[in-house]
Structure formats: C-alpha cells, structure tokens
Amino acid sequence: MNSGMTRREALRRGLLGAAAWMVGSRLRLPTWAANLSAPPTAKTKAKAVIQIWMWGGPSHLDTFDPKPEAGRDYCGDLMKPIETNVSGIRIGELLPMLAKQADKYAIIRSMTHGNNGHETASYMVQTGRPAGDRQVYPCAGAVVSLFKGYDAGYKGMIPPYVVLTTPQGRFSEAGFLGPRYKPFVTGGDPSQSRFAVEGIVAQGITDDQQRARRELLHQLDALGQALPSHPQLQVLAKTEDMAYDMILGEGAKVFDLSTEKDEVRQAYGRNRFGQSCLVARRLVEIGVPYVTINYGGWDTHKTHFQIMRQKLPELDRGFATLLQDLYDRGLLESTIVWWSGEFGRTPKVDWPAPWNGGRGHHGKCFSAVVAGGGFKGGQVVGASDERGEDVKDRPVYPCDVIGSMYQLLGIDPHAKLPHPQGLEAHLLPTSAEAKSGGLLTEIM
C-alpha cells in the first residue's frame, strides 16, 4: 500500500464512516421539518389526546343514538335505552357505566361523510381530508406529533405518538410527513402478566438477561474501545443509552402495569381494551401528547347482536373508567378523549342468512363522542332522523371534529404543513375541497 495508509487504517476509516452515516441518518432532522413554524402561543385547554378508534365501525343505534321507536327491524333486541345522569340524554342499554358519566362527554349524533369503504372512510375520519386527493395527508396523531412532538421541544422518552396495541393498517398514518411521524406501535397485550411491548419488553427475557446482553455487546465492541472519545461514536453511545433507558429504565416503567393496584386494573376490565385504556392514562400522565387505542371487532356483518352483548359491556367498563380516572386525577380538563369509528352501521338489520342479524357499513350518518380538553360535557350535537339513516340537523364532517381538536390543542387548524416537495399543504381542506359544518363551537 502507498501513501502510508495501512489496511488496518483503511478499515478503521471505513467503519467510522459507516457509523457516522448510521447515526446521522437517525438523528438528523429533515431540512423542511427544521423550518417548521412554532405553534400558536394563545392559551390552550388541551395537552393530549386519547383516541379510541373503533376499528370496523360501531353501530350508532346500539351505542349513543338509540331509536327504540323504529322497531325490531332496526334495533333487534336492544330496544330499551337507558337514561343518563344528564336529563334528556339516553344511550344504549348495554352502556350503564357510561350512562353515569354523560356529564363528562358530548355526543355528536350527526357525523357524516357518505363513504362506505373501510380504507377511504378511515382516511377521511382520521385526517379530515376527502379521499382521492393525489396527496396522502397525515392523520391527526401525526399532526400532533409534528406540532407537539420532538420538533416542538418534547423531551419525553416515549415517542409522542403511540398506538395500542396493533397497527391500524388501513392507511399511511404519517402521509407525506414521512416515517419520522409514524406512531410507535406497542404490539403485545397489556392484559397479560407481562406487557410485551415491541422493542422494549420481551417475553421470556428478564431485565438481568437484558443487562448481560448489553455487557456482552460492549465487550465485543472493539471499535468503541479503541476510539472512546470519537464524537460520532459518542453520539451512537448516547443513542444506545436512550434505547436501554426505554428497555430497563424510566421509559419501560410506564408500561409495567404491575405497579397499579389490583382494584384499579379490575375497574378497567381485565381484557386487552380495558388495560389499553389504563396504559393510555399512564402515557398522557407522563406527557405523551397523542395515544390511539386501536379497538377492533366492530365490523359486524353477521350475528351483530350476539357480538354486541360481549363487546359493549367491555367498551362500557373501559371507557367509563378511563373518563372517571382522568377526572379524578385532574387530567380530563387537559386531555381530549375522542371516540369514533370510520363510519356507523346500517340502521336496518340484515336478518336473513347468512347475515343472521348483521349490520353493514353506513357513512351517511353515525355518532362520535368527545370529552375533556375544553369540550363541554353533558351535550348533544346534531340529530339523525327517526331511524338513524340520515342526518336531520347540524351535519358534522370529519374536518369539523379534527379542526376543533386542533384548536383546543393550540394548533391553528389552517396552518401550513411542511411538504417534502415544497407543495402548498394545509392541515384542513378549504370549503372548495370538502364539505364542512364548522367547528364545534357549541361545545368548546
């Protein structure tokens, strides 16, 4: 070799270059994100959102917009709605615990977008944007991660946008914002004895074993031992420290439900949804700004009523306990709770085989619930017709709900979104791009 460069020196430089590239690509902000304008400084109500995403689409008639007068062809055997603790508001008979919490939430009975496809309707409800645009816009969670996450000074160990427990899988949550703003999906099941969080808590591996693995890694790290003061390797070491703090330190503690009293865990329900609600409370308690509970099982084309008798009590216990727990801890006033699916279900029941009492997709009219963070409780917005088939009064579109949440979070609903190609993009569509009934000022 010439120029005095040995083979060992060439290899050393090559390894350093590779390490520097890996660290830089992970830690460097995109140039367009670095130019992000600061959020409004006006006093805001909300600091966080817990989204209960009813994957598949829940029936509004069986939950928050009962229609017993429509008869059995519309209500099946769920024809006895119950009074709530707010005079004049009735909800489904299988939601007795939520009936006692009605003063804490507002029911929107006139949600509409008219789309009956899972993918497109999910995109519309979660982004506030019409389907079919050539741009894929980010969902509300990714937007909050942008405006309230690391780019805005968030210092938490847990990523600012978390999904419990499975991917939503119906659209690209971050859209054109890119993978930096995608959610951290936990995986696992918090109702198990050990909540195996993806990349943080591994089933069958103890904390002592994790520490032993790290020690072995350091023993094998010849490059790190040879160049302990190199700036790029120091950055890599810092990244490793952060990762292990998630696995073994403060970051992992939020997912350890064994620290909760047994009566609290029982109150939420010893099932995946109930314990996910408990984890969501713990996450917003430590400052995570956006948490989605992806609650599946609501696409009930067949044997709908049998499924409802199992699912609705589970929903009732987890949702009601979450509201009460947030309230008791002084967190509800700063935490928006948003309950919605991508659409509702057909009011008229499909009785013949093979459906055997099923309900189809219904995007013309459905219900959503919002609570906390500046939303007034004990309210009803809008109305459906006598059979729940169409909006009768005050149509509310997805952009109206999402825009209202942004407003309460201190995010300008009309703010520009950074686009990697420099295109003009805003949080919400203009009146020319999508229908709107206006922000939910009556309950804000």
User: Which DSSP string corresponds to 280-293?
Assistant: HHHHHHTT-SEEEE
Q: Supply the DSSP symbol for 3.
A: T
Rounded to whole angstroms, the Cα distance separating 442 from 109 reads 14
Give the pLDDT confidence score for residue 247 in this predicted structure.
54
Beta bridge partners of 107: 369, 380
Rounded to whole angstroms, the Cα distance separating 341 from 327 reads 24
Give me the mean pLDDT over the 47-52 stretch: 98
Residue 29's pLDDT band (cuts 50, 70, 90): very low
Give the pLDDT confidence score for residue 18 in this predicted structure.
41
Give the pLDDT confidence score for residue 167 in this predicted structure.
87
Rounded to whole angstroms, the Cα distance separating 362 from 339 reads 17
pLDDT of 48 over the 60 cut: yes
- Whether the CB-CB separation of 411 and 402 falls below 8 Å is answered with no
Give me the mean pLDDT over the 82-100 stretch: 98
pLDDT of 138 over the 50 cut: yes
pLDDT of 97 over the 80 cut: yes
Residue 204's pLDDT band (cuts 50, 70, 90): low
Q: Half-sphere exposure of residue 335, counting CA atoms within 13 Å on the CB side?
A: 30
Give the pLDDT confidence score for residue 257 in this predicted structure.
94
Q: Which two tokens stand for residue 260?
A: 């909760």
Contacts of 332 (CB under 8 A, 6+ apart): 104, 323, 326, 371, 372, 373
Percentage of the chain exceeding pLDDT 90: 69
Range in 85-94, 245-254, 412-421 the model is least confident about: 245-254
CA 157 from centroid of its chain's CA atoms: 18
Q: Supply the DSSP symbol for 40.
A: P
- Whether the CB-CB separation of 1 and 7 falls below 8 Å is answered with yes
Residue 126's pLDDT band (cuts 50, 70, 90): very high
Residue 218's pLDDT band (cuts 50, 70, 90): low
Q: Supply the DSSP symbol for 367.
A: E
The larger pLDDT score, comparing residue 200 to residue 235, is at: 200
- Whether the CB-CB separation of 298 and 57 falls below 8 Å is answered with yes
Beta bridge partners of 426: 416
Closest-CA residue to 130 (of 441, 409, 432)? 432
Give me the mean pLDDT over the 11-38 stretch: 43
CA 94 from centroid of its chain's CA atoms: 25
The widest CA-to-CA distance across the chain, in whole angstroms, is 93
Range in 24-28, 107-111, 404-408 the model is least confident about: 24-28
**Count, residues in the chain:** 444
CA 134 from centroid of its chain's CA atoms: 24
pLDDT of 342 over the 80 cut: yes
Beta strand pairing call for 335-340 and 366-371: antiparallel
Give me the mean pLDDT over the 112-126 stretch: 96
Torsion of CA 229, 235, 241, 246, to 10 degrees: 180
Contacts of 263 (CB under 8 A, 6+ apart): none
Give me the mean pLDDT over the 121-140 stretch: 93
Rounded to whole angstroms, the Cα distance separating 92 from 78 reads 8
Give the pLDDT confidence score for residue 32 in this predicted structure.
45
The larger pLDDT score, comparing residue 213 to residue 11, is at: 213
Percentage of the chain exceeding pLDDT 70: 78
Give me the mean pLDDT over the 151-178 stretch: 89
Domain spans of the chain, in order of start: 43-201+261-443, 203-254
Considering the entire predicted model, what is its pTM?
A: 0.84
Q: Which two tokens stand for residue 237?
A: 């070491």
**43-201+261-443: what CATH class?**
alpha beta
Range in 14-23, 110-119, 330-339, 394-403 the model is least confident about: 14-23
> What phi and psi values does residue 438 have, to the nearest 5 degrees?
95, 155
pLDDT of 68 over the 70 cut: yes
| Strand residue runs (E) in 23-71 | 48-54
First to last CA, the chain: 74
Give the pLDDT confidence score for residue 246 in this predicted structure.
55
pLDDT of 17 over the 80 cut: no
Rounded to whole angstroms, the Cα distance separating 107 from 185 reads 28
Rounded to whole angstroms, the Cα distance separating 206 from 344 reads 44
Rounded to whole angstroms, the Cα distance separating 48 from 241 reads 27
pLDDT of 14 over the 50 cut: no
Q: Which bin fits 319, alpha (ψ -120 to 50), beta or left (φ > 0)?
A: alpha
- Whether the CB-CB separation of 54 and 295 falls below 8 Å is answered with yes
Question: Which contiguous run of DSSP H or E holds residue 226?
Answer: helix 222-226
Give me the mean pLDDT over the 237-261 stretch: 69
Average pLDDT, the chain: 86
pLDDT of 234 over the 70 cut: no
Closest-CA residue to 181 (of 209, 148, 204, 210)? 148
Give the pLDDT confidence score for residue 253 in this predicted structure.
85
